[in-house]
Structure 1
C-alpha cells in the first residue's frame, strides 16, 4: 500500500521559497515510493469567514459557496498532510490563515476527520517570527487530533537573499528527517491496520464539543459543548 501525503501550500508567490520546499518534499516522497499531491491555495477560491456569527451553534458545515468542500475531501483521503506556508508581516501568510480558519470552524470541527492522520509543518521566512507561525500551525494540527512525529528541529527554512532558494542546510536536514518520519509512521499505521483489520488508535474521542461525563455523573446530564 502506497503512502499519499497532501501538501497544502499557503504561499501567494509561484516559484518562491515555499514552492521550492514543497517540490523538494515531493522528490523525497517519490523516492520512498509514496505520492505527494499538492493544493496551492492561491489557485482556489477560498472566502474568509463571513459575519454570520453562528459558528459555535451551527450543526452543519459552512454554507459559503467556494472551493473549501472539495479541498476538505482531499484532506480526508490523504494518509498524511503537510502544511507549508511563508511568514508575512511577522505572522502566518494570510492564505493559510484564512484556510485554517475556514477548514476548522466550517468543516473539521464536527467530526474531526483528520484524527490520526500524520501531519507535518514547513515554514519559510527571511529571519523573524517563523517559530511563531510554526507553533500556530502545530496547535491547529493538535486540535484536529493529528499525529505529529518527533523529528529533531522544527522545519524552518530561512533565506535572506532576494531570489528564492533552498540555502538553509540545517533547515533542509530537518525537512528530510521530518518527511522520513512521516512516511515511516504512515507505513507503521498501515501495517497495523492490515494485521488487525482496524486502526491502531481508535478515534474514540473525536470532538471536544461533546464533553465527557464527570466521574459518577450519568451521561444524560451532560450539556452541549460549543468549543471550537
Structure 2
C-alpha cells in the first residue's frame, strides 16, 4: 500500500475556536505526531455547508447532491485519509448543529452511493459539560457503522467533561480514553496497511456498495417492496 506516513483526518464540529473540542483535537495531534503519523483537521465552522434542501428526492436519486457548497471537497479529504476522528460538543442535550448538518449532507448526498469510507479506521470524541454525551457518542458511532468503518475498542468512549466554563482537558479519565483510542487507531491503520502490502487486495471482502439496491438472494430471487411488506 502506501509508504508515506499514515494520515488521520479530524472533523471538528465545534463552533467555538479554542474550546474543549479544539483542545482535544490538538492533543490528539500531538499523540499522532509522536507516533510518526500526521493529523489534519477540518474545522466545519470555516466552511460553507448547506443544510439538506427540500428537494425531497434523497431516497430515490441515483446521482450526487447538486447543492453548491464545500461538502464535496471535504468528502474527498475524508476518502483519502487512513483514519477519521469525528469530534463534536454537546449542544442542547444533543449533537452540535454543525456536525449534525454535515453528517446529513455528506451521508445522504455523497457517501450513501458507494460507501467510500468502508474499512477506514474511525474514532469519536465528544466534549460536554455533564449530560447527554453518551447519547451523542452513540449517534456518531452509528453513523460510522452505517458507513462501514472500522471502530477499535479502546476501553471507554472518549467523553471529555468540563463543567468549569473555562476550556481545558482536566478530565483525566477522558484524556486516558483519548490516548488509548488514538493509539489503537494507529495500530489498526498500520495492521491494515501491512495486510494490503501482503495480499495486494482489499482489506475486507466488498459486497454490495449501495444497500438501497436490492441484492439478489440465492436462486436469483430479488425481493420487491411488496415481498418485504408481506413478511410478518
Paired with 1:124 and 1:16, the residues of 2 have a C-alpha distance of: 9
CA distance in 1, matches of 2:40, 2:208: 29
**3-state SS of the aligned residue for 2:69?**
coil
Mapping of 1:73-112 within 5 angstroms? 73-112=76-115
The Cα shift of 1:55 comes to 0.2
TM-score (norm 2): 0.93
Matched, 1:23 2:30: no
Alpha-carbon separation, structure 2, partners of 1:222 and 1:125: 45
**How many residues end up aligned between the 2 structures?**
222
| 2:76 aligned with 1:70 | no
Alignment match, 1:39: 42
Is 1:6–1:82's contact at 8 Å kept on the other side of the alignment? yes
Distance in 2, Cα, partners of 1:6 & 1:223: 39
Q: Which residue of 1 aligns with 2:228?
A: none
Counterpart Cα distance in 1 of 2:199 and 2:217: 32
Q: SS of the counterpart of 2:58?
A: coil
Task: Confirm whether residue 121 of structure 1 aligns to residue 124 of structure 2.
Answer: yes
Tell me the equivalent position of 1:182: 185
1:190-201 → structure 2 map (5 Å cutoff): 190-201=193-204
Asked whether the 8 Å contact 1:120–1:178 carries over to 2, the reply is: yes
CA RMSD of aligned residues (A): 1.2
Q: 1:222 offset after TM fit, Å? A: 5.1
Alignment of 1:50 with 2:68, yes or no, is no
Following TM superposition, by how much is the alpha carbon of 1:212 offset from its aligned partner in structure 2, in angstroms?
A: 2.2
Structure 2 unaligned segments of length 5 or more: list them. Answer: 226-232
Deviation at residue 10 of structure 1 after TM alignment: 0.1
Counterpart of 1:166 in structure 2 is: 169
TM-score norm. by structure 1 comes to 0.95
Q: Take 2:127 and 2:10, find their aligned partners in 1: how far apart are those partners?
A: 14
* 1:175 CA displacement: 0.4
Q: 5+ residue gaps in structure 1?
A: none
- Equivalent position SS for 1:184: helix
SS in 2 for 1:58: coil
Equivalent-residue separation in structure 1 for 2:186 and 2:149 (angstroms): 14
1:204: Cα distance to partner?
2.0
